[in-house]
Amino acid sequence: MQNRFTNAMVISWQVGLLAAFPLQFFSLKLYFYTLIFASACFLATEYRKEIFTKQKFYFVSPFIIFLLVNAIGIFYSENKTQAVKEVETYSAMLVLPLLWFSLPSQKVSLLKPIGLTVILTTLAHCIIAHLLCVKDILSQGRSLKLLFTSEDYHYVNLSYKSGIHPTYLGVLVIASLLLIWYISKNQKPVIKICTGILALYLLTFLILLLSRGPLLGLLTILFFGAVWRLRTARKRYKILGYTSIGVIIACVFLFPPLQNRFIDPVLRMIQAKSYHFDDDSLSYHIRSWICAITSNQETKTILFGHGTGDERETLNICYTQKQYHAMINSGLDAHNEYLSQYVKIGLFGLLSFLSILFVYFYEGFTQNKVVLTSYVILIAVVCLFESILHVSKGVFFISYLFPYFYLLEKENTRTTT
């Protein structure tokens, strides 16, 4: 009887993890209920003790430290209501890794369906967004080529049609591209062709999305991968390889919408010798970064920050002092997760967040886990342009997918040896 109960709880636990991914992007309330349900199933089994094994605790402990540091920040925060709200959002960074690493056995039967769920969830959002754009174009009797050329169907005008911020949708697309590449390895030619077509569509969508963080993250992954592959090549092949990389990157940014989004704002600021008066979001990011860096002046704030929940108020004081009129009372955060943690929790907060990235990057890099390494690089780059942990989707991308990619590649290594 006890064995039947345990098996039922473990199956429910696995189903909870499987359901968590699509629910995060379609129903946030049901997602939280699912986490509570999966956690209850976890606590009902003796496998809750599994997490205290040395290897598993190594991968969970950075999340625990990060959550504890931010929880301590509540006590010296001026805005305790916001501080508690942020720590509640961060709570998934404890729950999800615990649920992943305490499972009694990591089976392909669980891991691969989740990968398929990631891809299908992404595809659904992309197709919905594009269909709504096409409907809008046709209702106005306009040409469908506007889908590729008009800013009316790029960036937020594209992503919000599917209900997701462009940065998070871009991360979701690249996570799916990594999974498609991983799953299609060693498959039949027909499957490779089908997955190749799917990957091409998602890549096209990503380019039309024009989100800085994900696009630069993808280019960084490709550059990092190329450098790693070419490290042992002969000199002439290295020259050819690096030249090819440069040409590809140059060609990407010759696409007019990308040029308008990435190149033109920089050129305008160089010409004007100022970032202050440009209306592009990059100039707003720069102003936020300057205020975030200069907000911690004393030894106390450099080490401990201003407190969890106090980021926006602290930055607003700086916006006022520096006369960034367009940003005063705007509620804009640092648009950089590293600086957000620095403003709120100081160097301790920054280091606790970096420790999560370091642990998973080091494991992926040293153990040749390509998907995990690539995904950590993506998140590290995206964090330069977005304070991703302010919303549950950003927390989810780290606390759910870091352990998932690690276990997926670990399971594949175990079953192929």
Cα 373 to Cα 360: distance, rounded to the nearest angstrom = 7
The amino acid sitting at 391 is V
Higher local confidence (pLDDT), 417 or 118: 118
Between CA 107 and CA 104 the distance in angstroms is 10
User: What was the pLDDT predicted at 1?
Assistant: 56
Tell me, yes or no, whether 266 lies in a domain: no
Domain span holding position 205 = 108-210
Statement to judge: residues 26 and 119 lie in one domain: no
Same domain membership, residue 279 and residue 417: yes
Residue 253 lies in a domain: no
* Any domain includes 308: yes
pLDDT tens digit sequence for 177-213: 999 999 888 778 888 888 899 999 999 999 999 999 9
Evaluate whether residue 387 is within a structural domain.
yes
Give the pLDDT confidence score for residue 348 in this predicted structure.
Answer: 94
The last residue of one of the domains, among 210, 232, 256, is: 210
Q: How many Å apart are CA 186 and CA 182, to the nearest integer?
A: 9
Render the burial of 7-40: b for 16+ CB within 10 Å, e for the rest: eebbebbbebbbbbbbbbbeeeeebbebbebbbe
Asked, for residue 160, whether it belongs to a domain, the answer is yes
- Our count of domains for the chain comes to 3
Are 165 and 205 within one domain? yes
Same domain, 46 and 61: no
Residue range 369-385, pLDDT digits in tens = 999 999 999 999 999 99
Query: Same domain for 297 and 413?
Result: yes
- Would you state the pLDDT for residue 243? 79
Give pLDDT, residue 228: 78
399 within some domain: yes
pLDDT for 371 equals 94
User: Are residues 79 and 144 located together in one domain of the fold?
Assistant: no
Q: Are residues 8 and 81 in the same domain?
A: no
Q: Which of 188, 210, 232 is the last residue of a domain?
A: 210
Q: Mean pLDDT throughout 46-70?
A: 84
Question: Does residue 15 lie in a domain region?
Answer: yes
Are residues 326 and 393 located together in one domain of the fold?
yes
The answer to whether residues 181 and 44 belong to one domain is no
Residues in the chain: 417
- 124 and 74 together in one domain: no
Q: Out of 173, 188, 210, pick the residue that ends a domain.
A: 210
Same domain for 61 and 129, yes or no, is no
**Across 166-298, where does the E strand assignment appear?**
none
CA distance 99 to 39: 7
Number of H helices, E strands in the chain: 21, 0
319 lies in some domain: yes
| One domain for residues 79 and 140 | no
